[in-house]
Structure 1
Amino acid sequence: MGDYEKDTAFLGQKGPFFVIIFLLLNAIYISTGFHSFYIVFAGASPSYHCHVRDGNLSEEWLKASIPIEEVNGKLEPSKCWRYNLDTIRQFASKGYSSVDVNLTDVGKERCTEGWKYSTEMYHSTIVSEWDLVCESEWRVPFASSTLYMGYLLGSLISGQLSDRFGRKKVLFASLALESLIIFVQSFSQSWLVFCILYFFVGAFQVSLYITAFVLGTEILSTSLRVLFTTLGAFLHYCVGYMLLPWIAFAIRDWRTLLRVLSGLTLVYIPLWWFIPESPRWLISQGRLEEAEAIIKDAAKKNKVKPPDIIFKESEAKVAPSLMKKYNMIDVVKTSDMRCTTFMCLLLWMAINIGYFGLSLNTSNLIGNPFLNCFLSAVTEVPAYIVATLLLKSCPRRPLLSAFLSIGGGFLLLIQLIPESLHTLALALEMAGKFGFTMSFSVVYIYTAEVYPTVLRNLGMGMCSSAARIGSITAPYIIFLGSFSKYLPYILMGSLTIGSSLANMFLPETFGKVLPETVEQMQKCKGCHRRDVTMMEEDRKQVVLKEQKL
């Protein structure tokens, strides 16, 4: 295949064709913001207590039947225990008042008659519908993590599917199937069915995200491609994320919420006729006539005249040093490689635990959960803009360490804030989210610059898997808050600070030429010993191939 950029240079950089594709692909990313965090509201836990059938008990005895327990330094009615009702009814039938009886001598029992849930904030959630409290409380973070388990599957297979069937088909198939599964999920009759369907929502959602990203990078002009990959996709994702709490505020029932979010996706169906297939992919499949038809249509929209023959049958000459086939073992083959890969995996995991942990925690914060979620989403907008501007002129390594220190440092400070200053605690959490979001932006570019071309896809793939493990872990980190309010912040903050220190061992990539081969890859600063024998053997193989050619 010839030089695609040169072959299509006559189209220009910012014609109507490119602008329309840019806007339409970004519009699709709004749906990913809708669908990424609806579990925050569908899986929210409203206020609840043991259900006690009155059995002719007075209001005084009904209130006294619930033990008082200390939770995070506060005395609150127990959510999982009640005093033995048979004993209480005996005291009540004899005319005793609750103050006349030492209730601590009365045996406790589980909430065998279920729970009563407050409908002040939520009319219905999966927690209140399926009693996911007390012994079943672990099922809520598990339900959240199934989405990210689906992310792991989707990130592994989406690339292979789009390489085989085409970007456009996989993009719209993922969009349609995600919407359909969310609609079916709204009819779930059990927690298990909800989790299974949520797994596939995650698989198709990440497939949609990755495929749209690839399609945009392959079809857009150079100038718009940079804008699309840095700000376009991220900011439009934030738009959907910001709109979600307002939709959830208007719809307090989780089943109706899911049906509305699923229905909103229908507006994307007409885009099938406006978004073309990737000409680059068509050329790679030998379908030159279809690729030329798309480029000629683009030329018509951009009001330029295309040449009679745009693409010629040719093969690119591959450098001998790039002919060797690489696999996952090569990413950890030498001491430098292992050091670099380990540091990158740690960074991606820590950032994803912090980012998704804080995003899922908004319903647990003091104050209005809908407003908290909106603030969490709004925080990301300036974070992406600031990160993008700084990346143009600042070294990657200190920049990423600074962002990680901001994110983790503010989380560690939260435990020092008095209970009465909950607004300040919320501000610190949002500042932490700001740091994690900026780190999210930098780590993508930084990792791609660290690995050489021959290992870049493999390295990014391993880091993406580590990110998925981090996001799967995040709901359980937040779940630990039910035992200690500050434990999630301490864990996330400590892990992030540690990863910021580990980041300093990675090489600086700012202003450096992207490495093409393993030999050109920079050394990891913490590992000076290299596997010289292995590297020399690789070099000899390259020389032999060059001599044969």
Structure 2
Amino acid sequence: MVEENQPGEDVSVGFRNVNDILEKIGISNLRILFISGTTASLWIVSSLLVFLPVFVDDKVYCGQVGNYSCNPRLANSVSLKDRFNPPEFERHWFDQSFYIGSILGTSFVSYLADIYGRKFIGVPSFTLIGIFGLLMRFSPNYHILCFLRFAQGILFAAAGEVIYVLASESVPHSNHPVLALVFNLFWALGCCLLSVMSLIWVNWDELIFYSSLPVTLLPILLWFVIPESLAYLFEKKKGPEIEKWLSKVNKVVDEKKRIEYNVRECIDTFHHPIDGEFGECDNGNRFLKFIRFYKNHPKFIFYNAGTCYVWSAGFLLYLAMTMNSTSLSGNPYWNFILASLVELPPSLAAPILLKRYGRKIPMIWSTSIVAVMSFALIFINESQYVLYITVYMTTKGVMAFNYICLFVYFSEIYPTEVRNTSLGLNNAIGNCGGLLSPMFSEWSKKDPKTVFILYVFISASCAIVVKFLPETSDPSLLQKQTYEDRRHLEQNSSS
């Protein structure tokens, strides 16, 4: 291991970018596995937050209104509707205020993570979200409750996305599908946990309070063990912290598997103004780097418009079908757990398919399959319980696969210097889908066939949009295009 250049030293480690270092380390390194697992654990509490309204907005029934056979204590349970009795037009405010907050706050919080660090912004955001949740139990009226939910939304979407970016920038590019699998498994575990918690705590205030405790406490514990992402440290030229990060990686392997590196040389290489991974990070005011990047690379405006649409549409369908699962025939708790467990098979298949077929083709397949399955649901009556629930849950599982593709694929489209801000914009626009999901969920209870017709068109349009996005399975190709853009700009400015 080599630390800093000494006078007269000629050390050439041959790393062209951060991913070269991460590929050399490999995902099997215990330190990399630790980072992946600890960051992914925060998605357990993420799913608790997102789907909380499913069990607190209104009374939960066991298949039919007035049926409490699956949990007799539901007969005396108190929901938000029972406690505050909001007007009909305010009925979904608790859920929608969360997504309004996400729309307004996501891009800004993500931008802060590009400036001040993934860990510094992402991890404390979760604790603040948990504190807002604890305060909800003592809300004197519905409007204050919705305001606290709104405050959670401002921080939440960015916090979840920033944590994933932190992990993805600390894991080899070739293993991003595996990372997304781990995150999705923890997400599904959180959904199952929420179903169990709602079975125990049937009143709105109890469920909100006890589900907010892990959201508050877990990030505090993880703050002391999660490191900053390696890509961010190189972008900001934090030599001592890079040395510490890499030395911990070398400590958990035998001497033969330790990587040799030169921090100073790597920083210089990665920050080369033309061919460097962070070639545009050092020019001008950092506050304007996002706008400057899109000005210099206008094709990314098209990419961002496409990813925003697909993210919004995918989020809408995923949330609406998950939320509606408790209203299907049968036990609502088991239905919700089943809706979570059906995500496991496609999640396990995702790393294999994404590695073998790239990013675009599996995503086009998944969105097309959702369109076909939604078309089939138009002609199946809910009275055909086994057939209906099988097709419904299969569709939900394919949507989960699509969500894995979305996180892996879209995070790889954008360079490190604008990744969080670009994904933050995707997340902000995507939350428009979250904002509409309660209405679609209610609509599907009254007129499911019309809703599934819309799902067909939405899914098919996503497949078409993805067709025009770039492939990212080979990061060097997209990076090469960016380098060529920089050279073209240099030539224009010098002529």
Same fold by TM (over 0.5)?
A: yes
Aligned counterpart, 1:477:
440
Q: Comparing both chains, which one has the higher relative contact order based on Cα–Cα distances under 8 Å and sequence gaps of 6 or more?
A: 2
**Secondary structure of 2:96 counterpart:** helix
1:319 maps to 2:274: yes
C-alpha separation between the residues in 1 aligned to 2:115 and 2:293?
Answer: 25
Q: CA 1:40–1:128 in 2, change beyond 3 Å: closer, same or farther?
A: same
What CA distance in whole angstroms lies between the structure 1 residues aligned with 2:159 and 2:482?
35
Distance 1:396 1:501 in 2: 14
Aligned residue in 2 for 1:255: 205
Q: Which residue of 2 aligns with 1:198?
A: 149
* 1:125 aligned to which of 65, 68, 79: 79
Counterpart code for 1:140: R
Deviations 1:75-115 (A, max 9, x none): x99xxxxxxxxxxxxxxxxxxxxxxxxxxxxxxxxxxxxxx
Native 8 Å contact 1:34 1:240 kept in 2: yes
User: Structure 1 pair 450/308, CA: closer, same or farther in 2 (3 Å)?
Assistant: closer
Structure 1 residues 328, 464: CA separation in 2 closer, same or farther (over 3 Å shift)? farther
* Higher alpha-carbon deviation: 242-251 or 170-179: 170-179
Asked whether the equivalents of residues 111 and 421 of structure 2 are also in contact (C-alpha less than 8 Å), the reply is no
Where does residue 176 of structure 2 map in the other structure? 226
Task: Kindly report which structure 2 residues correspond to 1:47-66, keeping only aligned pairs within 5 A, or say none.
Answer: none
Give the secondary structure class of the aligned counterpart of 1:392. helix
Q: Distance in 2 between matches of 1:516 and 1:14?
A: 26
- 2:417 pairs with 1:403: no
Q: Determine if the alignment matches structure 1 residue 274 to structure 2 residue 288.
A: no
CA apart distance, 1:378: 0.8
In 2, the alpha carbon distance for the partners of 1:351 and 1:5 equals: 29
In structure 2, C-alpha distance between the alignment counterparts of 1:176 and 1:502, rounded to whole Å: 37
SS at structure 1 position matched to 2:477: coil
**Structure 1 segment 73-92 matched on structure 2, within 5 A:** none
Residue aligning to 1:37: 51
Please say if residues 177 and 354 of structure 2, whose CA atoms lie closer than 8 Å, have aligned partners that are also in contact: no
Matched, 1:235 2:185: yes
RMSD of aligned residue pairs (Cα, Å): 4.1
Work out the CA distance in 1 between the residues paired with 2:418 and 2:226.
Answer: 31
**Cα distance in 1 for residues equivalent to 2:492 and 2:477:** 25
Indicate if the aligned counterparts of 1:331 and 1:337 stay in contact, CA closer than 8 A.
no
Contact 1:331–1:458 (8 Å) recurs in 2: no
Task: Give the superposition deviation at 1:307.
Answer: 9.8
Contact persistence 1:454–1:516 (CA under 8 A): no
Which deviates more, 12-21 or 318-327?
A: 318-327
Decide whether the 8 Å contact of 2:107 with 2:427 is kept in 1.
no
C-alpha contact 2:180 2:408 (8 A) present in aligned 1? no
Q: 1:465 Cα shift?
A: 3.3
Q: Larger radius of gyration, structure 1 or 2?
A: 1
- Point out the more displaced range, 172-181 or 503-512: 503-512
Q: What is the CA–CA distance in structure 2 between the aligned matches of 1:169 and 1:201, rounded to whole Å?
A: 17
TM-score (norm 1): 0.71
2-side partners of 1:218 and 1:343: how far apart? 23
Residue 166 (str. 1) matches residue 117 (str. 2): yes
Aligned with residue 426 of structure 1, among 389, 393, 404: 389
1:166 Cα deviation after fit = 3.3
Assess, with a 3 A threshold, how the Cα gap between structure 1 residues 142 and 165 changes in structure 2: closer, same or farther. Answer: same
Cα–Cα, structure 1 residues 198 and 223, in superposed 2: closer, same or farther, change >3 Å?
Answer: same
Unaligned residue ranges in structure 2 (runs of 5+): 5-14, 67-71, 284-288
- Give distance in 1, aligned partners of 2:259 and 2:368: 54
What SS is found at the alignment partner of 1:147?
Answer: helix
Amino acid in structure 1 at the alignment position of 2:273? V
The 1:9–1:345 alpha-carbon spacing in structure 2 relative to 1, beyond 3 Å, is: closer
Gap change, CA 1:486 and 1:5, over 3 Å in 2: closer
**Which residue identity does 1:20 align to in structure 2?**
F
Q: How far apart in 1 are the matches of 2:174 and 2:470?
A: 29
- Greater shift in the superposed pair: 439-448 or 186-195: 439-448
Deviates more, 1:488-497 or 1:302-311: 302-311
Give the drift of 1:277: 3.6
Q: Which residue of 2 aligns with 1:491?
A: 454
8 Å contact 1:28–1:268 — kept in the other structure?
yes
Match of 1:349 in 2: 312
Does the 8 Å CA contact 1:154/1:204 hold for their aligned counterparts? yes
1:188 aligns with one of 124, 139, 161:
139
* Conservation of the 8 A alpha-carbon contact between 2:318 and 2:396: yes
Deviates more, 1:297-306 or 1:226-235: 297-306
Report the 3-state secondary structure (helix = DSSP H, G, I; strand = E; otherwise coil) of the residue aligned with 1:515: helix
The range that moved more, 354-363 or 204-213, is 204-213
Q: Which amino acid aligns with 2:263?
A: F
CA drift of 1:317 comes to 1.4
- Counterpart for residue 398 of structure 2: 435
Distance 2:296 2:443 in 1: 34
The structure-2 alpha-carbon separation of the partners of 1:332 and 1:360, relative to structure 1 and needing over 3 Å to count, comes to farther
Asked if the contact 1:409/1:432 (under 8 Å) is kept, the reply is: no
Task: Name 1:63's counterpart in structure 2.
Answer: none
Distance change >3 Å, CA 459–CA 476, structure 1 → 2 = same
Give the Cα separation in 2 of the matches to 1:250 and 1:36: 19
Give 1 or 2: higher helix fraction: 2
CA distance in 2, matches of 1:543, 1:470: 43
337, 341, 358: which one aligns with 1:378: 341
Give the CA deviation at 1:128: 1.9
Q: Which amino acid aligns with 2:30?
A: P
Query: What SS does the corresponding residue of 1:357 show, helix, strand or coil?
Result: helix
- 1:292: which partner in 2? 243
The range that moved more, 204-213 or 29-38, is 204-213
Which residue of structure 2 lines up, in the alignment, with residue 144 of structure 1?
95
- Alpha-carbon distance in structure 1 between the residues aligned to 2:388 and 2:483: 47
Cα deviations by residue, 1:127-179 (Å, 9 ceiling, x for unpaired): 222224xxx33423332122222333443123333344433332331121111
Q: Which runs of 5+ in 1 are unaligned?
A: 48-73, 78-117, 522-534
- Rate the CA distance shift 1:452–1:520 in 2: closer, same or farther, 3 A: farther
Q: Does the CA contact (< 8 Å) of 2:440 and 2:451 recur in 1?
A: yes
CA offset at residue 509 of structure 1?
Answer: 6.3
Alpha-carbon distance in structure 1 between the residues aligned to 2:483 and 2:236 = 31
1: CA distance, partners of 2:192 / 2:146: 25
**Correspondence for 2:10:** none
Structure 1 residues 122 and 479: CA distance shift in structure 2, 3 A: farther
Correspondence list, 1:329-344, <5 A: 330=294, 342-344=305-307
Figure out how many residues of one structure are paired with residues of the other and give that number: 460
CA 1:122–1:464: 2 relative to 1, 3 Å? farther
Deviations 1:359-401 (A, max 9, x none): 2212322222111111111111212222332112226555333
Partner of 1:417: 380
Q: Distance in 1 between matches of 2:413 and 2:230?
A: 29
Say whether 1:388 aligns with 2:402: no
CA–CA separation in structure 2 for the residues paired with 1:502 and 1:511: 20
Partner of 1:62: none
**Aligned equivalents of 2:375 and 2:131: distance in 1?**
41
Matching residue's letter, 1:311: V
User: For residues 144 and 187 of structure 1, what CA distance do their matches in structure 2 show?
Assistant: 18
Q: 2-side partners of 1:492 and 1:122: how far apart? A: 37
**Aligned residue in 1 for 2:8:** none
Q: Percent identity?
A: 20
